[in-house]
A and B are shown apart, each in its own frame.
Chain A
Amino acid sequence: MAKQLTIFVENHPGRLKSISENLCKSGIDIRAFTIQDRGDYGLLRLIVDKPNDAYLAMADVGCACALKDILAVSVPDQPGNFHKHASALAENSINVLDAYGFVLQPHNTGVCCMEIDKPQMAKAEEVIKAAGFTVLEDEELYGL
């Protein structure tokens, strides 16, 4: 299962810089990131090459951060594929708590990262595979 690093960030200038500085010092490579905005704070979610090292680097400086299991699905970058993916989940009543997508070059590999309620995680993985998609493991995701 792929890991996502989630970091609690206050919403004011300079906060992202202090995080990026720390990750940079620890030699962490960022594949993707997104911010979930809640007004006075946000959650920075990162896909990185060494999630455990990144977690320790942030926890060491006192950050509130967490490593979470996510479902990372490789979805070829073609029209209709996201629909097919979403339909498979819908038909099986699987709820997505949160999701984001990105495309990795040079092979046009679409990746959909999803947070799913723990009890539904195994079933979601099964359903996605049955629909013909590949669920990426940690190393595969970071090695793309």
Chain B
Amino acid sequence: MADVPFWNREIETAERSRLQELQLQRLKTIVGTGATADDVFQNMMTYGLFTGGLGLHYGAERVGMTVIPIGGGNTKRQIQTMKDFQTTVVHITPSYLLHIHSRMDEDGICRKDLALRKAFIGAEPHSENTRRKLQDLLQIDAYNSYGLSELNGPGVAFECVCKKDMHLWEDSYIAEVIDSQTGEVLRDGQEGELVLTNLVRRAMPTLRYHTRDLAFLYPEGCDCGRTHRRLSRILGRTDDMLIINGVNVFPSQIEEKIMKIPEVATNYQIYIDKKGALDRLTVKVEIYPKLFLGEVAKLEALRNKIREELQASITIAPVVELHEPGSLPVFEGKAKRVVDKRPKD
């Protein structure tokens, strides 16, 4: 195979122009929610390789907002910063915003101490009920957002002030909804897998990318006057990918790590539930009897090792439970290893 350079000046120039177009796309996105240069934007999405952070950061700068690149986590500091900087707009996962609300009392900060008026919520599926709850609790407007790192990140589709699902920027993407079994393109309004073609990328074109996200498109226009078709909420996935506090996790990533550890037997379970507003991931493993030495210190070291290995791989530190050999449910044929107890509201 010929030696293809991973990066060169030509690619860089192409990518720079792409980034400018992306900034414009995100400017349109943010302006569509009624946010302006007078807003203070606290970006609580993780910066780094996850596009949620840097993605909207540049768009918000382009709008002229004051951007606080605080990133994810550290709830106490988030709340204090919202108060100190009189933040008016946050970009956040819906579950984390609920969590922040539940922690405000503890920190002695109430709604009137904050200047918050809008939230861009995304990176995880949520229902209309969750949006209403957030809006009522915090007296704000919350706008749904859709994007994926493979196709430039947040702002592929975004709600406008009308909050009637998300405008998909059809000047940047060709959107199709297909039957994921047959590949047949479905009519607007029919639910299927969203397939996207990117029109703005030059260095890495992406043609008919199968997102694995299930949704449908609204054919009719919107009260705001924009004519791009709107994308429904994401209704599910065609694969087994899990979204845990906004982070995408495949069960196979977890399996790969824990099966490398000799003290763990072959049966395991991935269990997800809610602790307060946040998702909680628990990995249950059976200990391997032949390597059991009867020492608590060794068992706790094993627990920590599993937690650290998984955190390094999937960025989430799970709760690790150690179980007796043969105690986790065994299934005939394909094991059902994922138990998702999060309420489907």
A residues in contact (CB < 8 Å) with B: 6, 8-10, 15, 36, 38, 40-41, 43, 45, 59, 62-68, 98
> Inside 8 A of A98's CB, which chain B residues have their CB?
296
Closest to A6 in B: B294
Contact at A43–B325, with CB atoms within 8 Å?
A: no
Contact with B327, one of A10, A45, A65, A67 (Cβ below 8 angstroms): A10
Is B323 located at the chain interface by the 8 A CB criterion? yes
Contact at A66–B327, with CB atoms within 8 Å?
A: no
Taken together as a complex, chains A and B put the C-alpha atoms of A65 and B296 apart, in Å, by: 12
Contact at A65–B322, with CB atoms within 8 Å?
A: no
Contact at A65–B325, with CB atoms within 8 Å?
A: no
Closest beta carbon of chain B to A85's beta carbon, Å: 23
Per-residue CB contact flags for chain B residues 77-117 toward chain A (1 = under 8 Å, else 0) read 00000000000000000000000000000000000000000
Taken together as a complex, chains A and B put the C-alpha atoms of A61 and B185 apart, in Å, by: 55
Taken together as a complex, chains A and B put the C-alpha atoms of A41 and B323 apart, in Å, by: 8
Contact at B324–A9, with CB atoms within 8 Å?
A: yes
Contact at B296–A62, with CB atoms within 8 Å?
A: no
Per-residue CB contact flags for chain B residues 318-337 toward chain A (1 = under 8 Å, else 0) read 00011111110000000000
Contact at B324–A38, with CB atoms within 8 Å?
A: no
Contact at A38–B296, with CB atoms within 8 Å?
A: yes
Closest beta carbon of chain B to A126's beta carbon, Å: 24
B residues in contact (CB < 8 Å) with A: 287-289, 292-294, 296, 299-300, 321-327
Contact at A66–B322, with CB atoms within 8 Å?
A: no
Contact at A65–B323, with CB atoms within 8 Å?
A: no
Contact at B292–A66, with CB atoms within 8 Å?
A: yes
| Also in contact, A62 and B294, with CB within 8 A (given A9-B324, A40-B321) | no
Taken together as a complex, chains A and B put the C-alpha atoms of A120 and B325 apart, in Å, by: 32
Closest beta carbon of chain A to B271's beta carbon, Å: 12
Taken together as a complex, chains A and B put the C-alpha atoms of A108 and B334 apart, in Å, by: 59
Contact at B294–A63, with CB atoms within 8 Å?
A: no
Contact at B321–A65, with CB atoms within 8 Å?
A: no
> Inside 8 A of B299's CB, which chain A residues have their CB?
8, 38, 41
Contact with A64, one of B289, B296, B321 (Cβ below 8 angstroms): B289
Taken together as a complex, chains A and B put the C-alpha atoms of A62 and B330 apart, in Å, by: 15
Contact at B300–A68, with CB atoms within 8 Å?
A: no
Taken together as a complex, chains A and B put the C-alpha atoms of A45 and B296 apart, in Å, by: 12
Contact at B294–A65, with CB atoms within 8 Å?
A: yes
Contact at B322–A41, with CB atoms within 8 Å?
A: yes
Contact at A68–B294, with CB atoms within 8 Å?
A: yes
Contact at A38–B325, with CB atoms within 8 Å?
A: no
Contact at B293–A66, with CB atoms within 8 Å?
A: yes
Taken together as a complex, chains A and B put the C-alpha atoms of A65 and B292 apart, in Å, by: 6
Closest to B288 in A: A64
Closest beta carbon of chain A to B330's beta carbon, Å: 12
> Inside 8 A of A41's CB, which chain B residues have their CB?
299, 322-324
List, sorted by A's number, 10 A–B pairs whose CB atoms are closer than 8 Å.
A10-B323, A36-B296, A40-B321, A40-B322, A45-B294, A62-B326, A63-B289, A63-B324, A64-B288, A66-B294
Closest to A38 in B: B296
Contact at A64–B327, with CB atoms within 8 Å?
A: no
Contact at B325–A62, with CB atoms within 8 Å?
A: yes
> Inside 8 A of A45's CB, which chain B residues have their CB?
294
> Inside 8 A of B321's CB, which chain A residues have their CB?
40
